[in-house]
Amino acid sequence: MKLITAIIKPFKLEEVRSALTDHGLQGMTVTEVKGYGRQKGHTEIYRGSEYAVNFLPKIKVEVVVPSDEVDKALDAIQKAAKTGQIGDGKIFVSPVEHTVRIRTGEADENAL
Amino acid sequence: MHLNTIRKLTVSACLAATLYAGSALPAFAQDAAPTLDTGDTAWMLISTAIVLMMSIPGLALFYGGMVRKKNVLSVLMATFATVCLMSVLWVIAGYSLAFSDGGAYQHYIGGLSKAMFAGIGKDSLQGTIPELVFATFQMTFAAITPALIIGSIVDRMKFSSLLIFMALWLFVVYVPVCHWVWGGGFLGNDGVLDFAGGTVVHINAGIAGLVACLVLGRRSGYGTENMAPFNLVLTVIGASLLWVGWFGFNAGSALAANGTAGAAMAATQVATATAALAWMFSEWLVHGKPSVLGITSGAVAGLVAITPACGFVDVKGALIIGAAAGVGCYVMSTGVKKALRYDDSLDVFGVHAVGGIIGAVLTGVFAVEAIGGKSGLLEGNFAQVPIQVYGVLATIAWCAVATFVILMLLKVTVGIRVSPAAEVEGLDVALHGESVQ
């Protein structure tokens, strides 16, 4: 099993969600986050006072998938979240040791 | 108007006929005695209510949206509490000292004969409206003026000393200047034109704001921390409520539902719109983007500048006054403030003092005899501008010195600034035990 963590532009969330659902993946966890990469932040000006806004709002999508479905999922997320502009985000993949469904006690891939 | 005039004439004629049977001459003398006009009274009741709306929630939201989230409630609280405190003090002695006869000191201050509204019954008249309506209308002016100062001291002043400051400032600064201009004092007698409060309200509050922010010092983190406004939606709502309420302030200052009120209303609208656009375009030109905070600030600058002028100028004058205020206040609130590094946090000086001065001086230029019965520079009355400047300087001098003395007294006694820890935590939690999520 792999944990896919995708940092995406907030307005791309719905497209990413439906792309993953179309590939048969059930469930995901979404968090509103702030951060920056190469895009950096921007400046805001209020009555002549400039403030650097370094951290931009992003959405973090977390989804755990069986190892053999990782590529499919990565492909779906990348296609859906891409605008071609700087700041589209990143996707991280990491191993998951164990999974339990709380209601039934099912484990690992049966719990996904 | 015709109906009212006829009714008044009929009533006076009947009275006169009864009292002075057989003599026609005293009938005209009797005609000059004021009688209550229901139209005027209705308009002044409404004006009073909407001027209160300018302070709460108008000004409170305008300012509240501009501070950081941790201080929003402290700003709303300061405004609300100031309005309450000023209302009480106005009844106790403020109105009397501003508007009753001061005897030997009449040039400078009124007397105490109307303290606690003594002798003002429900049938007492001020012109054609009940004096209680006039006194309450003026109460809303006395409430908003100190509240305007709050914009310069946000995020760092102790609430307890704020209340003491407001109370002292009302009696030492607002009440005398109000008397000088409107209560029979020397500025009004010398011919200073101030229709709705350019000197009394805006220059007064703006200068006090500048002095207060200098005595208090800058907010900690000024220039390094991000002090971007918490929620400009609140600021837009506040500015819009101020704009609507300002018709009560300016057109209401005619103290009647008549042509002068109409002229004041038209001048107010056109000056405000022009100033909002002037600020917006200035900012667009200099910073590359027209901002929401900019256009709302411009509108308030226009409202301020047209306040002394609105019953004296026509719409052409109002247009120019608006444009001058939009550009002038923009320059003072952005470039000049930044260069001099004083932390007039929400630009009480840059908008109210600067706008007030522009408006007061230009009233002397653009006054039209056909509107307010007074001529300005453009109609050949060269004396009016110097008189306006004299009114402005007298107000600045008294306000600056008195405000400084009050604040220094408070500084060495009860203290005026919150602890650094409270400032970091935010005044909402530190002073009021509440917070906005």
- Amino acid identity at B200: V
Average pLDDT of the segment spanning B5-18: 43
CA distance B79 to B101: 31
Each residue of A74-104: pLDDT tens digit?
999 999 999 999 999 999 999 999 999 999 9
**Which residues in chain A are closer than 8 Å to B294, comparing Cβ atoms?**
47
Output the pLDDT for position B16.
42
Local structure of A9: helix, strand or coil:
coil
- Amino acid identity at B229: P
**Which residues in chain A are closer than 8 Å to B293, comparing Cβ atoms?**
46-47
Q: Is the pTM of this model over 0.90?
A: no
Which of B152, B154, B226, B344 to mutate to probe the A interface, most A CBs <10 Å? B226
Contact A53 B226 (CB under 8 A): yes
Using pLDDT thresholds of 50, 70 and 90, give the confidence band for residue B24. Answer: very low
Q: Does B316 touch chain A (CB under 8 A)?
A: no
Q: Do residues B43 and B137 lie in contact, with contact meaning Cβ atoms separated by under 8 Å?
A: no
Structural domains of chain A ordered from first start: 2-90+100-111 (3.30.70.120)
Q: How many CB atoms are located within 10 Å of the residue B161 CB?
A: 20
Output the pLDDT for position B66.
98
Among candidate residues B22, B11, B62, B393, the one with its CA nearest the CA of residue B246: B62
Q: Which two tokens stand for residue B426?
A: 């935010």
Burial tier of B314 (Cβ tally within 10 Å: 0-12, 13-18, 19+): middle
| Strand partners of residue B125 | B130
Each residue of B52-69: pLDDT tens digit?
999 999 999 999 999 999
**Which residues in chain B are closer than 8 Å to A51, comparing Cβ atoms?**
226-228
Each residue of B106-127: pLDDT tens digit?
999 999 999 999 999 999 999 9
Cis link prior to B57 (omega < 30° from 0)?
Answer: yes
**Which residues in chain B are closer than 8 Å to A52, comparing Cβ atoms?**
226
Local structure of A90: helix, strand or coil:
strand
Local structure of A3: helix, strand or coil:
strand
On the question of pLDDT at A39 being above 90, the answer is no
Among candidate residues A102, A76, A99, A83, the one with its CA nearest the CA of residue A20: A76
Average pLDDT of the segment spanning B133-138: 98
Q: Do residues A49 and B291 lie in contact, with contact meaning Cβ atoms separated by under 8 Å?
A: no
Which of A43, A44, A46 to mutate to probe the B interface, most B CBs <10 Å? A46
**Chain A contacts to B (CB-CB under 8 A):** 44-49, 51-53
- From A5-9, A44-48, B31-35, the region with the lowest mean pLDDT: B31-35
Regarding an ipTM greater than 0.85, the answer is no
Contact A46 B291 (CB under 8 A): yes
Local structure of B49: helix, strand or coil:
helix
Average pLDDT of the segment spanning B301-318: 98
CA distance B311 to B267: 8
Structural domains of chain B ordered from first start: 2-31 (no CATH), 45-432 (1.10.3430.10)
CA distance B167 to B183: 20
Output the pLDDT for position B3.
42
On the question of pLDDT at B4 being above 50, the answer is no
Q: Does B337 touch chain A (CB under 8 A)?
A: yes
Contact A46 B228 (CB under 8 A): yes
Among candidate residues B169, B144, B150, B148, the one with its CA nearest the CA of residue B216: B150
Each residue of B164-198: pLDDT tens digit?
999 999 999 999 999 999 999 999 999 999 999 99
Using pLDDT thresholds of 50, 70 and 90, give the confidence band for residue B311. Answer: very high
**Which residues in chain A are closer than 8 Å to B297, comparing Cβ atoms?**
47
Q: Which two tokens stand for residue B236?
A: 């837009």
| Backbone region of residue B191 per phi and psi (left: phi > 0; alpha: psi in -120 to 50; beta: other values) | left
Average pLDDT of the segment spanning A32-55: 89
Using pLDDT thresholds of 50, 70 and 90, give the confidence band for residue B31. Answer: low
Contact A49 B291 (CB under 8 A): no
Nearest CB neighbour to A45, from listed B227, B287, B335: B287
Q: What is the DSSP string of B344-391?
A: -TT-HIIIIIHHHHHHHHHHHHH--HHHHS---GGGT-TTHHHHHHHH
Contact B226 A48 (CB under 8 A): no
Each residue of B337-395: pLDDT tens digit?
989 999 999 999 999 999 999 999 999 999 999 999 999 999 999 999 999 999 999 99
On the question of pLDDT at B10 being above 70, the answer is no
Q: What is the DSSP string of A22-66?
A: HTT----EEEEEEE-STT--EEEEETTEEEEE-PEEEEEEEEEE-
Local structure of B309: helix, strand or coil:
coil
Question: Mean pLDDT, chain B, as a whole number?
Answer: 93
CA distance B151 to B144: 12
Output the pLDDT for position B32.
65
On the question of pLDDT at B6 being above 90, the answer is no
CA distance B10 to B222: 67
| Strand partners of residue A3 | A64, A94
Contact B347 A47 (CB under 8 A): yes
Contact B227 A52 (CB under 8 A): no
